[in-house]
Amino acid sequence: MIPAGNTQPKPSRRPLALACLLLVSGQLGFALPASAGDGTFDELRFGATASIADGNLHEDGAFPSFTLFFDPFDRDTATDWRDALARPRVHVGGEIGTGNGANLAFAGLNWTFDVSPKLFLDAGFGGLVHDGNLDGSGEEGPRLGCRLLFHEYAAVGYRLDEKWSLIGQVEHASHAKLCDGPNGGFTRAGLMVGYQF
């Protein structure tokens, strides 16, 4: 916070956060070809989301997004839905803020349930770190209260073939009033393209 009488603008964290996201995604890009064939990576999803919140919680712009899924518990060998619950996939990813939106990086667990050979439901829970507005001092968008938030999403997907799928998802992030300050949260929806390794 800038003390009273100090009129210097607050330095922006956006370039640093964007550089970190690009560095991580670049490192993943170099690792993917080597690791995709050995079963380390299960799926890559990429696309874009947009804010679906109203009023002061709305963020302008689109948010290019990527998520990388790992399958350390061998979900494909689950024999029924109870076994599938015990074998979540692990995901890591990020979204790049445009307009007045925040950059974020997230990680967590994911569960996928097949409705039919083509149609599936997907849900995930974890945490994220962001560079967004904490207390609303002169900035637009949601007031988020703290840098670390819970992150959850729900999705419906359609398999185009054994490798490619289209996924519509809704995601939310907030701190559930576990830290001081406002709890505006993010609420975004988007369309993803999935590639199964």
How confident is the model at residue 142, as a pLDDT? 86
57 exposure class (CB count in 10 Å sphere: 0-12, 13-18, 19+): middle
How confident is the model at residue 106, as a pLDDT? 98
How confident is the model at residue 138, as a pLDDT? 65
- In terms of residues, how long is the chain? 197
**Class assignment of domain 44-196?**
mainly beta
pTM over 0.85: no
Judge whether residue 55 has pLDDT over 80.
yes
Query: Could you give the percent of the chain with pLDDT greater than 70?
Result: 78
Judge whether residue 3 has pLDDT over 80.
no
How confident is the model at residue 86, as a pLDDT? 93
Per mean pLDDT, which of 22-26, 55-59, 94-98 is the most reliable? 94-98
Six-digit token pair at 182?
Answer: 């406002």
Q: What's the mean pLDDT when you consider all of the chain?
A: 83
Intra-chain end-to-end CA distance of the chain, in Å: 46
Nearest CA to 183 out of 148, 131, 156, 138 is that of: 148
1 exposure class (CB count in 10 Å sphere: 0-12, 13-18, 19+): exposed
Q: Which residues pair with 70 in a beta bridge?
A: 41, 90
How confident is the model at residue 47, as a pLDDT? 98
Q: How far is CA 153 from CA 30, 77, 170, 171, in A?
A: 27, 24, 6, 4
Q: What is the mean pLDDT of residues 88-94?
A: 97
Higher-confidence residue of 182 and 33: namely 182
Q: What are phi and psi of 35, to 5 degrees?
A: -100, -15
Confidence of residue 40 (pLDDT cuts 50, 70, 90): confident
pLDDT digits 0-9 by tens, 97-128: 987 788 999 999 999 999 999 999 999 999 99
Q: What is the mean pLDDT of residues 140-148?
A: 87
Judge whether residue 66 has pLDDT over 80.
yes
Q: What is the mean pLDDT of residues 1-15?
A: 45
pLDDT digits 0-9 by tens, 151-183: 999 999 999 999 999 999 999 999 999 888 888
